[in-house]
A and B are shown apart, each in its own frame.
Chain A
Amino acid sequence: MERERYLRQITLPGVGEEGQEKLLRSRVLVVGAGGLGAPVACYLAAAGVGTLGLVDDDVVKLSNLQRQILYRTEDLGRPKVEVARRQLLSLNPEVKVEVWRERFAEDNALSLVERFDVVVDATDNFFTRALLNRACVARSKPLVHGGVRNFAGEVMTVLPGSGPCLACLFPLESKAASAQTEGSSVLGPVPGVIGTLQAVEVLKYLLGLGELLVGRLLVYDALSATFHEVQVTRNPSCPVCSKF
């Protein structure tokens, strides 16, 4: 381990070399390599999370560059996960980056989620988010949810068994939820704020530090420059987590 690389966090109370070793042994799956996935992956790679998994089937498009800070203009047309892997390894060659250039779907959901310690929801549509939530609840994997739209965003951490899941919060499993939100408007730094908060949640979970956003939806509004917290309780008739 390059001790100096992580010096500024090794010296944090509650981290130490032991915490850093823990991060290097950890495996985190980031589903979606877009506006949320970019800051999440950068900060986790920089922090020395030993294995990062990235799932995304898309290529870099010009309209991505306003917010997806992993990519450069010369990357246009290239698969996002390939560019992301190159960038993350150049940031920190000590970590491993495993990529899947495919959609997170019914047929790979469980086998992907099973390989990791923590999963990050950096998806851009409700169908994938619903699937991710079901897979994480079924395999009892922590899921750090993030979402953005226009000038606002939100974060919540799902710890299956000890707090509400995403279907306790949204009508994820209903028909109405299929209204796609892909391609919605967003102020570039807003996913930066939310993705960064997701990375913070992941590191806290892996290091066993502080209080997670379990049952607490943290909502950010850029226009009023405010954060608000909304309590969320488990829905005893949740179509997803009430069965577990």
Chain B
Amino acid sequence: MRVEVRLFGGLEKFVKDVRFGEGFPVDLPEGGRVAELLDRLGIPPSQVFSVLINGRHASLADVLREGDRVALFPPLGGG
């Protein structure tokens, strides 16, 4: 199955030729979870603070489905 991934806030540095916020496709085995997606991309789970699947808050254990749009964010700072 194929999902679309967008990386923000420096997470894009982990993946070659990927730009901040721009979607790219990732192929995963059926039933793959967010944790497996991170593994495939080489992003340490400790760097990921927030996961959205199709705009909905998700966790590393959530199972992905064909066509899902996944957005990954690092921790945020402030003022």
CB closest chain-A residue, reference B21? A228
Given A228-B21, A230-B6, A235-B56, A34 contacting B50 (CB threshold 8 A): no
Residues from chain A with a CB closer than 8 A to the CB of B49 are 170-171, 176-177
B33 interface residue, CB < 8 Å from A?
A: no
Q: How large is the interface on B (under 10, 10 to 19, 20 to 34, 35 or more residues)?
A: 20 to 34
Interface residues of A in 211-244 (CB under 8 A from B): 215, 219, 221, 223-224, 226, 228, 230-233, 235, 238
Contact of B79 among A123, A152, A170, A235 (CB under 8 A): A123
Residues from chain A with a CB closer than 8 A to the CB of B22 are 228
Give the distance in Å from the alpha carbon of A179 to the alpha carbon of B48 in the complex: 12
Q: How large is the interface on A (under 10, 10 to 19, 20 to 34, 35 or more residues)?
A: 35 or more
Closest 10 CB pairs of A and B: A34-B79, A124-B78, A228-B21, A149-B77, A184-B77, A147-B76, A231-B55, A221-B20, A181-B77, A233-B55
Using a CB–CB distance below 8 Å, which chain A residues touch chain B?
32-37, 68, 122-126, 129, 146-152, 154, 168-171, 176-177, 179, 181-182, 184-186, 191, 215, 219, 221, 223-224, 226, 228, 230-233, 235, 238
